[in-house]
Amino acid sequence: MSKETRGEILLDAIYDEVDQRLNPNQEECWYCGGEGYTYDCIDGCCIDAESGCEDCAEPCIECRIYKRDRARAIREEVIKSDDVDIARAWLKSVGRWRDNITNEQIRTQLAAERGKLLTAATPAPDSEEGT
């Protein structure tokens, strides 16, 4: 198995684990029902206030919060894994990969981020947002 494939497989496992943790029953978003949009229609003003019209569509805030939490949890798992292959696959997946990044740089970065995670054990004030 190539290092690339190994990193991708292990990263997939992290996605699964994070999804399991954040959404154990794989439920659709309670707020928008998995549609990704909510509608702020006004009865009497909108043609189709019941089902929502395009003009009033907003990206679902709960979906955004979930995506943000998921991205954050994935990032943490990647850092905790302390695995260069996983980190490389992850950097590619978030569009932060550059061909001149060396394994050594990844390792240094992982160690630095792990240190930050440990010191940031106390939750930030804004971590209550959305609950």
**Residue 106 and residue 88 in contact, taking contact as beta carbons nearer than 8 Å:** yes
Q: Applying CB under 5 A, which of residues 11, 14, 18, 60 lies at the interface with Zn ion?
A: 60
Site stretch for Zn ion (CB under 5 A), options 33-41, 82-90, 101-109, 115-123: 33-41
Q: Please report whether residue 41 would count as binding Zn ion according to CB under 5 A.
A: yes
Note the residue count of the chain.
131
| DSSP symbol at 29 | P
Whichever of 41 and 110 has its CB closer to Zn ion, that residue is 41
Q: Please report whether residue 57 would count as binding Zn ion according to CB under 5 A.
A: no
Distances (CA, A) of 59 to 22, 39, 41, 62, 112: 20, 9, 14, 9, 35
Q: Applying CB under 5 A, which of residues 56, 57, 91, 101 lies at the interface with Zn ion?
A: 56
Three-state secondary structure call for residue 38: strand
Q: Please report whether residue 29 would count as binding Zn ion according to CB under 5 A.
A: yes
Strands of the chain, DSSP E: 37-39, 57-59
Rg (CA), the chain: 19
Site stretch for Zn ion (CB under 5 A), options 1-9, 38-46, 95-103, 107-115: 38-46
Whichever of 59 and 115 has its CB closer to Zn ion, that residue is 59
Q: Please report whether residue 53 would count as binding Zn ion according to CB under 5 A.
A: yes
Residue ranges binding Zn ion (CB under 5 A): 29, 31-32, 41, 46, 53, 56, 60, 62-63
